[in-house]
Chain A
Amino acid sequence: MEKIPHALIQEKLTNRYGSDIVSAVEEPLYKALVITVNPKRITDVLKYLYDDKDLQFQFLTSLFAVHFPERKGEELEIVYLLHNLWKNTRIRLKANIPISNPVIDTATNIFSTANWMERETYDFFGVQFKGHPDLKRILNVDSMDYFPMRKEYPLEEGSRIDKDDTMFGRESLVEGN
């Protein structure tokens, strides 16, 4: 089966959503189509991609977040990996939200599988998925009081006293850091 041409996806989305499609580029490494959308329209776009008979992106491969502390005002990037199983075409859909107000609509009404993925994204990044039926931690212990994958938190546990920096090299190897 022919893959869906990236130009067609791009065209259909920009015709319908105009400036709510922030960007649509083919990334150079794997030639994947990366579409960034206005976070307020995310469920509309997902629903359209799901329903449109030319597009039919009906499989949510993964949903996760990335934290970019240097992008002021849109520090959290929510990524949806979508797959059209009939034409074996994949796209990456992204939406950037501010870390000060990390709210985005839930995708659970379109993809049931988004339920646990959104819980995981909440667990690690603190993203509030509006309309999620049961948004609580899924992997970490319930009493955890922060979101460990945000970059301001250290990876290490911090309570260890047996580690000697001179032996284990906790100091950064990069000069000046």
Chain B
Amino acid sequence: MSYPKPPTLVQAPPGVEGHGFFATSLEAVIGLARKHSIWPLPFATSCCGIEFMATMGAHYDFARFGSERPSFSPRQADLLMVMGTIAKKMGPPLKQVYIQMAEPRWVLAMGACASSGGIFDTYSVLQGIDEIIPVDVYVPGCPPRPEQVIDGLLRVQQLAQNEGLSRRSSPEYKARLAKYGID
């Protein structure tokens, strides 16, 4: 009888190890923790949202990456996933949701509409959510396959792991938010 392979565990960051202790940088530990506990806030308005439901479901199982709990409150969310066409009228509510999220926060634009307006080059549709909020990862597609969404999430994980502890208080970051009128 053969047993399934044991799951691969997350590797510890480089550090000094001895009997009963392990020393590494705080930044690496926090990066590791953030990477594997990204709670997404699904902001789904249309067909990309349906594709995201498949991503979240048992088959593709988004939860494997530490996103066990889709947070439907922005206060406890780390990653804003914007999926679908954002009408101009939806712009202010979306921005409000982003503002209500606590730092550190990331934004993933899923699909052509959220990224650029997609086929909806029309007076009523926002031509990409990056007109109103900063975006970290764009996932192309119309709609993207669940594998692509997972790839996008893995890229957000990389950002979360590597961004360091000082980025969010840096003047560059503040200036970036100020560009969007967020303080």
Residues of A within 8 A of B (CB): 139-141, 144, 148, 153-157, 159-160, 162-163
User: Which residues on A sit within 8 Å (CB–CB) of B121?
Assistant: 156-157, 160, 163
- The answer to whether A141 and B117 touch (CB under 8 A), given A153-B123, A155-B123, is no
4 residue pairs, one from A and one from B, having the closest CB atoms: A141-B89, A141-B88, A148-B123, A156-B121
User: B127 and A141: CB pair below 8 A?
Assistant: no
Secondary structure class of chain A's binding surface, majority of residues: loop
Residue of A nearest to B125 (CB): A157
Report how far A141 CA is from B87 CA in the complex, Å.
9
User: B122 and A157: CB pair below 8 A?
Assistant: yes
Residues of B within 8 A of A (CB): 87-89, 91, 116-117, 121-125, 127
User: B89 and A157: CB pair below 8 A?
Assistant: no
User: Which residues on B sit within 8 Å (CB–CB) of A154?
Assistant: 123
Residue of B nearest to A143 (CB): B88
Partner of A160, one of B87, B88, B91, B127: B127
User: A148 and B124: CB pair below 8 A?
Assistant: yes
User: Which residues on A sit within 8 Å (CB–CB) of B125?
Assistant: 157
User: B117 and A160: CB pair below 8 A?
Assistant: yes
Further contacts, 6 of them, CB under 8 A, given A156-B123, A160-B127: A139-B89, A140-B124, A148-B123, A148-B124, A159-B127, A160-B117
- The answer to whether A140 and B89 touch (CB under 8 A), given A157-B117, A157-B127, is yes
User: B88 and A140: CB pair below 8 A?
Assistant: yes
User: B89 and A155: CB pair below 8 A?
Assistant: no
Report how far A159 CA is from B126 CA in the complex, Å.
10
User: Which residues on B sit within 8 Å (CB–CB) of A160?
Assistant: 116-117, 121, 127
Report how far A157 CA is from B87 CA in the complex, Å.
12
- The answer to whether A162 and B116 touch (CB under 8 A), given A148-B123, A155-B122, A157-B127, is yes
User: Which residues on A sit within 8 Å (CB–CB) of B91?
Assistant: 141
User: Which residues on A sit within 8 Å (CB–CB) of B124?
Assistant: 139-141, 148
Closest CB in chain B relative to A101 CB, distance in Å: 25
User: Which residues on B sit within 8 Å (CB–CB) of A159?
Assistant: 127
Report how far A94 CA is from B136 CA in the complex, Å.
52
User: Which residues on A sit within 8 Å (CB–CB) of B117?
Assistant: 157, 160
Residue of B nearest to A137 (CB): B89
Residue of B nearest to A142 (CB): B89
Residue of B nearest to A140 (CB): B124
Q: What are some 26 contacts across the A-B interface (CB < 8 A)? A: A139-B89, A140-B88, A140-B124, A141-B87, A141-B88, A141-B89, A141-B124, A144-B123, A148-B123, A153-B123, A155-B122, A155-B123, A156-B122, A156-B123, A157-B117, A157-B121, A157-B122, A157-B123, A157-B125, A159-B127, A160-B116, A160-B117, A160-B121, A160-B127, A162-B116, A163-B121
